[in-house]
Amino acid sequence: MADEPADLKEEYRLRFEGMAEYRKAVWQRLTREFFQRYVPEHATVLDVGCGWGEFINNVQAGQKYAIDANPDAPARLAPGVHFLSQDCSLPWPLQDESVDVVFSSNFFEHLQDKAALKRTLQEAHRVCRRGGKIICVGPNIRCIPGAYWDFWDHYLPLSDLSMAEVLALVGFVVEERVARFLPYSMSQGSRPPLMLISLYLKMRFAWPLFGKQFLVIAQK
């Protein structure tokens, strides 16, 4: 990754500190009402680029791992989450085929180049069990071409198509590809009512109207 750990800590603080409690509440709903369906009760789950743990803290699973280079991350993680402090594009200290679900949200665009993303996904494929899944969420460059670059630490332009293609290249089989999933609003200070978020998740017909982040799910 291009940024030093201290830079990551400060960037995340400046961007999200004022919204930390709201983000936590949003991710409680997103995880419980949508993502949990992909995670079996006793699964081993790995959150790549976990940030402050909004997903991994809320998902119900048998064993939880989180990877991030942000030195502030461990203090934000719930008890029982095993934290791996490292560059995600380097080899992970996990055994082959030891993880049921790999998850990553709004992280891959922060990697410095395509080679780093490919190495990261190769590690994800290595540790994923046969039949396991990877779930990828991120801003879609096709939907927000200008606003994508409003953040200092966005390096890698990605779309649902390019995400699906690189997953296939490293050996995953894409099961679901949604170009427009969630709105692109949280980083910019928007705070829609929590009940509206729950309603939006159920109204799939509204996703093409408001969604600007992709969702790509693939299986090993």
Q: Taking the model in full, what pTM does it have?
A: 0.91
Give per-residue pLDDT as tens, 1-27.
455 555 555 555 555 555 788 889 999
Q: Give the residue ranges of the chain where pLDDT is below 70.
A: 1-18, 186-189
Domain count of the fold of the chain: 1
> Which residues sit opposite 139 in a β-bridge?
213
pLDDT of residue 1: 44
Q: Could you write out the DSSP letters of every residue in 114-179? A: HHHHHHHHHHHHHHEEEEEEEEEEEE-TTT-TTGGGGSTT------HHHHHHHHHHTT-EEEEEES
Number of C-beta neighbours around residue 79 at 10 A: 5
Length of the chain: 220
65: helix, strand or coil: strand
* 131 class by beta-carbon count within 10 Å (0-12 exposed, 13-18 middle, 19+ buried): exposed
CATH label of the domain that carries residue 182: 3.40.50.150
pLDDT of residue 7: 56
pLDDT of residue 10: 58
Domain that holds residue 189: 5-219
Nearby residues of 209 by Cβ (< 8 Å), 6 or more positions away: 180
